[in-house]
Structure 1
């Protein structure tokens, strides 16, 4: 078979994805603060990759609402805007509701045990005020249904819109209010174990809607009209 003329696609994709994840995580965890200017040369030095995957990663982050670009002027970390966060919350809640509804008929004991274990880690992390661990455990809990439903569209939409909410969730999981999620997760698990797709999916949606009060009250959020 002739060698394809286009080369290096896998390596370039990996570099782009690695750069995207590194920058996304730095924005979500506050390493790169809202309003901070992003300089290509500094990012190249920090991440150890060329300018091309950096620019591709920044373009993806702009689509997710985490970065703002003014061509020829600046690129910066977006402020945490309440209107954008509300829009992302609506989309993310709907996608998790759909993921659970589609996943329930496919869940077995291994998946239910994975949800229980993730929620136990989540509970312990909240008790010990380990915010990063709580976020990771929350991700693992919700990922069970997303993986089980095997719907690539749901995964793609969540990949785009979830990062905006992660900055708000860090505030929730740093407070006592976040501990209500443990009981909400237990309700989702119970409905899934009963095979109640409708009840489980509505419980999943309600769980994501608990972010709403923070979108109005959290410090650092801009409230555009």
Structure 2
């Protein structure tokens, strides 16, 4: 699918992050399809920004595996690599478990209030079948323990690998399995409110580990290609 012809300007606030998020979401939802060539001038015109934040966003997306860039050649949306998705999902699940384990003892009533609000919005979005709103609320929900943990290494790792698993999240939240995510969120929130770090971290891990069920199996090897000639 080509870059949309109609402009979609980005607001000036936090421009660098917003451009990255808009391009990431366009890749995840299929607006920018796997294999599509990405030209920074076209993307800049679509988003109503200069080419600099677009180039920076493409570099971040390349580091996350959503974009492929070869020196002296074109930049394109990456095809889905099953092995990379599986690796990223495992890392993300582990990092969220660690973040929650470190955050529970530090959570204030304000932090818990942010999680409650995000959970209400998440449940409402799932009930309404609004996948975009569910993704946004899910981001806000899980961002609280990551921020509260104060562990910048966790935040950096998640910033790199979360975009890869976002395709899986979209599939899950668009399916009947989304209702299970609502229940898991509530269990996580309840454990945080009780101050039970062990229970909360395990529920968090299960929440993200469930995405592994959506990863397609590795393709079957082609016997004609793999067969070696006998001398």
Q: Same fold (TM over 0.5)?
A: yes
**1:97-116 to 2 correspondence within 5 Å?**
97-116=97-116
**1:184-199 to 2 correspondence within 5 Å?**
184-199=184-199
Q: Normalization by structure 2: what TM-score?
A: 0.82
Q: CA RMSD in A?
A: 2.0
Quote the residue 1:155 is aligned against: 155
Q: Secondary structure at the match of 2:33?
A: coil
**Larger RCO (CA under 8 A, 6+ residues apart):** 1
Q: For 1:118 and 1:19, how far apart are their aligned partners in 2?
A: 23
Q: For 1:112 and 1:21, how far apart are their aligned partners in 2?
A: 25
Q: Secondary structure at the match of 2:56?
A: helix
Q: Secondary structure at the match of 1:211?
A: helix
Structure 1 22/103 Cα, relative in aligned 2: closer, same or farther at 3 Å?
same
Q: For 1:38 and 1:224, how far apart are their aligned partners in 2?
A: 30
Quote the residue 1:180 is aligned against: 180
Quote the residue 2:60 is aligned against: 60
- Contact kept? 1:82, 1:224, Cα under 8 Å: no
User: Is 2:125 aligned against 1:125?
Assistant: yes
- Contact kept? 1:81, 1:224, Cα under 8 Å: no
- Contact kept? 1:81, 1:223, Cα under 8 Å: no
1:148-172 Cα shifts (integer Å, max 9, x gaps) = 1121111111111001111111111
Q: For 1:99 and 1:119, how far apart are their aligned partners in 2?
A: 18
Structure 1 140/17 Cα, relative in aligned 2: closer, same or farther at 3 Å?
closer
Question: How far apart are 1:216 and its partner, in Å?
Answer: 2.0
User: Is 2:72 aligned against 1:72?
Assistant: yes
Q: For 1:140 and 1:155, how far apart are their aligned partners in 2?
A: 14
Quote the residue 2:36 is aligned against: 36
Quote the residue 1:209 is aligned against: 209
Quote the residue 1:10 is aligned against: none
Paired residue total: 208
Q: Normalization by structure 1: what TM-score?
A: 0.84
Q: Secondary structure at the match of 1:76?
A: strand
Question: How far apart are 1:45 and its partner, in Å?
Answer: 2.3
Q: For 1:40 and 1:27, how far apart are their aligned partners in 2?
A: 15
Question: How far apart are 1:59 and its partner, in Å?
Answer: 1.7
